[in-house]
Amino acid sequence: MPEAAQSELEQTGNICQGSDMAKTSYSCSACGASFTKWSGRCEGCGEWNSIVEDKGLTSAGPAKKSLGAMRGKRLALSDLATEEAPPPRTLSGVAELDRVLGGGLVEASAILVGGDPGIGKSTLLLQAAAQFARAGLKTIYVSGEEASAQVRMRAQRLGLAEAPVKLAAETNLRDILTTLEAEKPQLAIIDSIQTMWADNVDSAPGSVSQVRAAAHELTTFAKTNGVSIVMVGHVTKEGQIAGPRVVEHMVDTVLYFEGERGHQFRILRAVKNRFGPADEIGVFEMTGGGLAEVVNPSALFLSERGGPVPGSVVFAGIEGTRPVLVEMQALVAPSPHSQPRRAVVGWDSSRLAMILAVLEARCGIPFAGLDVYLNVAGGMKISEPAADLAVAAALLSAREDTTLPPDTAIFGEISLSGALRPAPQTENRLKEAQKLGFTAAIAPSGGKSVSVPGLTLRSASDLAGFVGEYFGAG
């Protein structure tokens, strides 16, 4: 064959190999077997005229970006009635921690723990690591913020030096994953995710790219190797975990460790949990020997409550699945400024503004020219709408300089029309109040009829009626 003709034939062949025709594939419509060329009979199932040409998975978009005609494997589908066994869990022995996790630690789960600096995250996780190790889990604690000697000193102070926990101080993500793969632990704690750096990402440790890459690699490692990984995350000034919000979507559980430096109470709150209820809380007390779990949070939050004073009201709330009673404190004073102050600690400031507006518009009680201060005692943070009525009662008590009966708990949601809406889990709230010695409760009418021995339930239909009955106005 002449060289010119051979060259032309090779060019034609290359063009055909690079064309879409060379990428055409066929599959059997009966059994799904794939073939590179068409035939009249399927070699897999023996059906005739069942082989058809495959069309591309995606027809829109640039050719280099679309999936093309290449097929993947078919998924195993199941119906909604299929029953699966719940994931196995390991109890740590710390009831408050197990409660927040949804009943214990789930195998191959990724957990993100956030909190203010110095709030006690490392102390909590070191105690948890020791408890899980004593329960039989092979545990590794990797610190990127402290040297190994500092972690050992904390362990000795907490009385955990004899716990079978393996310790390392490292920030190189590749070295950490290599170690975890070789050691094959069941639980790994990474303190913290902002100090980890991946050598394939060209940015500084703590940057958005590094945090995202480190969280992705650790979460993937947890799922593929069956290792439960707990990552510590720093928080911003707004109290959110620093870095991209996509990190919270990657993990299975997001926990926040809350508390005020001036209080000994610490709240571990679940804001996301794929294996249990969200908004569940665990209550701890910071002591000289570390964090001690609190069995009865309501009694602890009300332990510093003195005699009846204006502006003090007890709110019967629900946090997750447990009832919690806390004290709402309000102070109303004449303002020397043209713009009165509205200061809130532990509650939503915009909801306070709504309550003040409803009191003025529906009950004729103005707060213009008055500074308003609201505080949730004990460092607790309340987000439940059922606290509206307790807040309104505290504000009115402070404004009118009167006191409500000290053995009375209050709860209920206030609407913009001034109507009171019943709160869920009324019976649990009342039982908790009765357990702590309260003899009366004020709640919106129209809810489920509940009777608790030893406790009198008083109902109110709207805010104006409540104000008129208990404060002689409205």
Residue 183 resides in a domain: yes
45 located within any domain? yes
391 assigned to some structural domain = yes
Structural domain total, the chain: 3
CATH number at residue 124: 3.40.50.300
User: Amino acid letter at 471?
Assistant: F
Dihedral (C-alpha) 391, 397, 403, 404: value to the nearest 10 degrees? -40
Q: What is the rounded CA–CA span in Å between residue 265 and residue 120?
A: 11
Give CA–CA dist 357/257, Å, rounded: 33
Q: What is the CATH number of the domain that holds 432?
A: 3.30.230.10
Task: Return the residue matching tokens 């009673």.
Answer: 325
Q: Please, is 55 exposed, middle or buried when counting C-beta atoms within 10 Å of its C-beta (0-12, 13-18, 19+)?
A: exposed
For residue 285, tell me if it sits in a domain.
Answer: yes
Predicted local distance difference test score (pLDDT) of residue 128: 95
Q: Per-residue pLDDT averaged across 209-222, rounded?
A: 94
Tell me the per-residue pLDDT of 133-169, one tens digit each, with 9 for 90 and over: 999 999 999 999 999 999 999 999 999 999 999 999 9
What's the pLDDT tens digit per position in 345-369? 999 999 999 999 999 999 999 999 9
Residue 9 lies in a domain: no
How many angstroms separate the CA atoms of 5 and 11, rounded? 10
pTM of the model: 0.79
Per cent of the chain over pLDDT 90 is: 60
Quick check: is 4 in a domain? no
Domain that holds residue 113: 89-295
**Sign (positive or negative) of CA dihedral 170, 176, 178, 184:** positive
Model confidence pLDDT, tens digit, residues 372-415 = 999 998 888 898 999 999 999 999 999 999 999 889 999 999 99
Q: Is there a single domain that holds both residue 465 and residue 327? A: yes
Query: Within this chain, do residues 330 and 413 fall inside the same structural domain, yes or no?
Result: yes
Based on the fold, state whether residues 50 and 102 are members of the same structural domain. no
238-247, 251-260, 263-272, 302-311: range with lowest mean pLDDT: 238-247
Residue 68, token pair as written in the block: 């093309």
Question: Is 338 found in the same domain as 271?
Answer: no
Handedness of CA 54, 58, 60, 61 (dihedral sign): negative
Q: Are residues 379 and 273 in the same domain?
A: no
238 shares its domain with 265: yes
Is residue 16 scored above 90 in pLDDT?
no
| Mean pLDDT, all residues of the chain | 87
Residue 17 domain flag: no
